[in-house]
Structure 1
């Protein structure tokens, strides 16, 4: 696995490069917003298409979104009553709940690609289908409920139009129908998809803000999101007798850091943005340490 660390260490360096470029005021959060839009609408769909078109499809893959959905629901059953016991302001309670529900699988993606390539990407994308569904329905519902616009409708269309999902869909269709891309088209997809790791990690470094607020509540969120999530992932793979790469990645995904959509939703719905920023930033710093270790040792 020495080759794994030779791929992961540059990722960690890129993360801190993004933070450094922000500190010297070369980049700002708006820069990261633009970079992630490029990833979301351009590079990641190309990668998901390639993963879907080249992956060895198996029925066991269809357990993945179900596991993601089940983990979110179980975590909610724990985090919601705990949030009530803290007697938090409504906006902070909303951020607390949403922070536990959203798995930052996007953060794990560069590590997954470094370790497992397109095979890991295929597993990631199918698992993330369930995760994304819960983010834009279940988690966003509670962001609305604890925010300023309680009667806003859940944006189902936004989920259905996600470019990475369509990239995966068409990739799987090509795979099932045994279509082969022309070498020119294949090279185009590979060139477009390659910047994904660099852009995602650089953006996360730019977003990073090591400021701590509500320390006790923050540690509780981390215990639920990371600790309980990882435990549920281990329980799932043991109950279903899942082995190999899929076993490792399910545990990693279920125990992923707090998702940056926590901050996005806090901003959109006027929940506690300062608490959200602290949750996302500190959990990302933890993730830089424990995610590659999990992939290495599991």
Structure 2
């Protein structure tokens, strides 16, 4: 069995590859946009559909998005208290709250959950990640109320999220035991296999060491909340209610993921502090490679 360090080194090496490709002008930062579209609209939905449509779905999985939402709310409260104590502006406060609330349970959580717990771990991670769409809508609506904007556009972005439709269609095929044939199944399998390396290379392309100079103390606070407080709270909460098994382990692992890239999308769309957001995402993504190694060691 692979050690926790070996497990985390696999995605880390692919992230380093993406960063190296950028440094040597083989790929550019802008290429990450195209790769992200390919992942979100093609390869990730394929991977989700193939695995979920044939999975044995347990009742425990259905609770995972609710647990994830609770953790996001706890992180928002902690971020608000921190910003209130520091007397931050409205823009900076919302930037930090969003960074604390939004977990990278898909782009980073999927490959790591799969690497640690195999396909079963990936299936649990899919359900946990359903919270991402919910929290995106909630935060989007709140930001529209505070800073102005178009509520319809927030809903449109959420409804057009292809991985969500992959989950819906996969559940339909699963419940009714529908078949989709050799050709389609194998085509989706091949496409799905490209997901993990593309995700990691994309993360590498987005790394920018220059951003770490901006607001280091705020970045470290968000890292502390996202990478340490969140999984500890999840562990205590699920332990208190007697929730166990693989669902427990995946929930704790996913709760320890860094800030989601979608947080930067919200930051840009609503005129928040994008430099601060970039700095926070970069800092806790890098630090997360170390905390996740420790978390994996604890869980396996």
Instruction: Report the equivalent of 2:34.
Output: 34
Q: Which residue of 2 aligns with 1:278?
A: 279
TM-score (norm 2): 0.91
**Shift of residue 143, structure 1, vs aligned partner:** 4.3
- Cα offset, 1:90, TM superposition: 3.2
Which residue of structure 2 lines up, in the alignment, with residue 118 of structure 1?
Answer: 119
How many equivalent residue pairs? 295
Distance 1:5 1:255, change over 3 A: closer
Partners of 2:286 and 2:219 in 1: CA distance: 14
Would you say the 8 A contact 1:94–1:142 is kept in 2? no
The residue that corresponds to 2:55 in the other structure is 55
1:290 is aligned to 291
Render the CA deviation track for 1:58-106: whole Å, top value 9, x for unaligned. Answer: 1121111111111112222222132122122333222111111101112
Distance 2:216 2:157 in 1: 34
Change (3 A) 1:292 1:37: farther
Unaligned runs of at least 5 residues, structure 1: none
Q: CA deviation at 1:142?
A: 4.6
**Structure 2 match to 1:129:** 130
Alignment partner, residue 236 of structure 1: 237
Deviation at 1:145, TM superposition (A): 5.6
Structure 2 unmatched runs, 5+: none
- Please identify, of 268-277 and 212-221, the stretch whose mean Cα deviation from structure 2 is larger: 212-221
In structure 2, what is the Cα distance between the partners aligned to 1:225 and 1:141?
Answer: 22
1:88 is matched with 88
Aligned residue for 2:260, secondary structure, equals coil
Change (3 A) 1:24 1:145: farther
Q: Partner of 1:97 in structure 2?
A: 97
Q: Where does 1:3-22 land on structure 2 (aligned, <5 Å)? A: 8-22=8-22
SS at match of 1:105: coil
**CA RMSD in angstroms, aligned pairs only:** 2.0
Aligned to 1:205: 204
CA contact (8 A) 2:4 2:296 kept: no
Pairwise CA distance, 1:41? 0.3
TM-score, structure 1 normalization: 0.91
- Compare 152-161 and 101-110 and name the one that shifted more: 152-161
Note the C-alpha offset of 1:179. Answer: 2.2
Q: 3-state DSSP class of the match of 1:26?
A: coil
- Report the CA distance between 1:250 and its aligned residue: 0.4
Aligned to 2:150: 152
Quote how far apart the aligned CAs of 1:241 are.
Answer: 2.2
- Alpha-carbon offset, residue 281 of structure 1: 0.8
Q: Residue in 1 aligned with 2:172?
A: 173
CA distance in 2, matches of 1:95, 1:185: 43
